[in-house]
Amino acid sequence: MKTLQVALAQIAPVWLNKKKTLDKIKEAMLQAAKEKAQLVVFGEGLLPGYPFWLALTDGAQWDLKINKTLHAHYAQNAVNIEDGDIEDLCVLAKEHTMAVYVGVIERATNRGGHSLYCSLVYINEQGIICSVHRKLQPTYDERLTWAPGDGNGLQVHPLEGFTVGGLNCWENWMPLPRAALYGMGENVHCAVWPGSDHNTKDITRFIARESRSYVISVSSLMNKNDFPKDTPYIEELLAAAPEQLANGGSCVANPDGSWLIEPQVNTEGVFCAEIQLDRVYEERQNFDPVGHYSRPDVTQLHVNRERQSTIKIKD
């Protein structure tokens, strides 16, 4: 019977600080390795953090200095994958034979290097970056700081006999991206969130029942005291911020929709569980949304996975 040891790394970032947040991610990976995890998953945009300021600063107002300054600070702490910003994570993944899903804010070289993308990066157990999924549609105020992505990252990956895939936050509410991953054979779905349990407590079990797959939802934490003192406009942010901005809610659902790990609230840590491939096959016996219970002659999905760029250079 094939099994997989999975770890949910529910941590708070050192908000908008790339270097210090990377250090926390590496610490969590080492903790997961001690638990013999073969897959560790981190929350949405954890590196270097979620843009909470947009809800605290009248984020949609034109030409407001506080928003420009915070956006510039965010961009300078964002991840440039081509420059090797997450190479340390790749080295650790290889050293401990552990795959990683990590949410980053990406400054994409092939889009000019200035706009920001909410990206979910998959690093395999050999330490190779296999996919970078840029969030297709930023949600509501996120659109003031994140650019829309493309379909290139709608990919799945083999891992110890399982097939893993993932989506960012409210992408998990989008039926067609989910169906795309199902159609590629996904049976472990990783849903990453900024927090909280109001996001994870219902949809995690819903996707599990719809897909007949394991669903791993991982969120971050963020409290008022997590704002670093050297953050631009810190006094204005603290005056507007509630005591709690994200309470976690990381959890795992079995392929029948029952809980394997119930939502973990207000607790920072690495939560581990073993999943079993046989459970997937058992639940697919009576329902398989892209197999025997599908009708591709009636409804069919077309997916464009081309990486989008403003220019195509031919030397």
Name the residues annotated as catalytic.
44, 135, 169
The CA-atom distances, in angstroms, between 181 and each of 88, 176, 178, 233 are: 28, 9, 5, 41
> How is residue 206 annotated by DSSP?
H
- Alpha-carbon dihedral sign for residues 76, 171, 86, 47: positive
Rounded distance between C-alpha atoms, residue 268 and residue 80, angstroms: 27
**Torsion of Cα atoms, 8 then 14 then 18 then 20, to 10°:** -90
198 is written with which tokens?
A: 């109001």
DSSP H or E stretch at residue 239: helix 234-240
Helices (H), 15-86: 18-34, 65-76
Rg (CA), the chain: 19
